[in-house]
Amino acid sequence: MSILPQHPETIPPDPSRMEELTFVSPADGSARAALVYSPAGDRGGPLPLVLAPHPITWTAAQEYQGGWAGMQKWGYHSGWHGLADDYGVIIALPHGHHRREENCSLGAREQIADMIHLIDVLARRGYDIDSRRVYVCGKSMGGQEALILAGKYPDRVAACVAFNPIVNLAAWQEDLAHSVVPEIREFETAQLVSREVGGLPAEIPELYAERSADSYIDGLSQVPTLIFWSDEDLIVPRQVTHHSYQLYQMVKARSPACPIAEYNHTRAHGLTTLDDEIRWQLHEWCDYELALKWLLHHRRQMA
């Protein structure tokens, strides 16, 4: 059972221009890459930029198209397909900078350094970017990295949207390790996380904290942020006490008037059942067009 209407059998063509851009990481000098989509024609002036990190184990191309092969037909993650041309924006999807595990950057210091550096790389490569309208948006691990980037660099990011993000990485690793869901244990994601970070949370708590959005409350309190989450999320459980809603409460406690908002999207889909399949889909749900419309209402304040 899908929680949203299925995609049409034929996906319309995407007129957006695409470039696979390569650059040198400022973190370690390695060669990195990003997929960059831009409008097909001249829009006359600087354009907004959206940095769009991908979820764990996905590629940037899968994130753009709406998931891994076969997933698109389910209809609850449409990706960024066509939005660059439709809305006159530049969308940059970094391939990711992991330390050990492919497509599993999980907010690594190198990944965050690459993402903020990518703004300047794009400008040097001829993309006309409006520096007051640089945004970041992602789902799951992509949401984790979007929040960390905004929290670390509030002077560069105009607004942030995160869908079902990982917030407290140590809590998430422990939840995965003790999950009652057979598929989650079979994927061995808990082991993948510990290998990428370099050990278990009890062994290296400071490295897990560095990759957790709740370590960047001061910065996040300065950036307009919208968090979509679900209290029935199967992949990132304990959203109220350890992830999205807890982060919202922490930021509001630091600065009550700060521009952060949260929305529990569980009831928005008209669900009649909440079995494991539906709860899995609730985690994968995101609407990047909705996010983009919200982001474009924001500008970074002048220095």
- Of 155, 302, 146, the closest CA to residue 225 belongs to 146
| Residue 188, phi-psi category: left (phi > 0), alpha (psi -120 to 50), beta (remainder) | left
Q: How far apart are CA 284 and CA 279, in angstroms?
A: 9
Q: Which domains does the chain have, with CATH numbers?
A: 17-167+218-295 (3.40.50.1820)
Beta strand ranges found along 25-156 (DSSP E): 31-38, 47-51, 90-94, 129-139
Per-residue pLDDT of the chain (303 residues; tens, 9 = 90+): 444 444 555 567 889 999 999 999 999 999 999 999 999 988 888 999 999 999 999 999 999 988 655 555 556 788 999 999 999 999 999 999 999 999 999 999 999 999 999 999 999 999 999 999 999 999 999 999 999 999 999 999 999 999 999 999 999 999 999 998 888 888 899 999 999 999 999 999 999 999 999 999 999 999 999 999 999 999 999 999 999 999 999 999 999 999 999 999 999 988 888 988 888 889 999 999 999 999 999 999 876
Residue (of 209, 55, 214, 76) closest to 142 by Cα position: 55
> Which residues, other chains included, contact 234 with Cβ-Cβ below 8 Å and sequence gap of 6+?
181, 184, 276, 279, 280, 282, 283
DSSP annotation of 300 reads P
Rounded CA separation 196/106 (Å): 8
pTM: 0.94
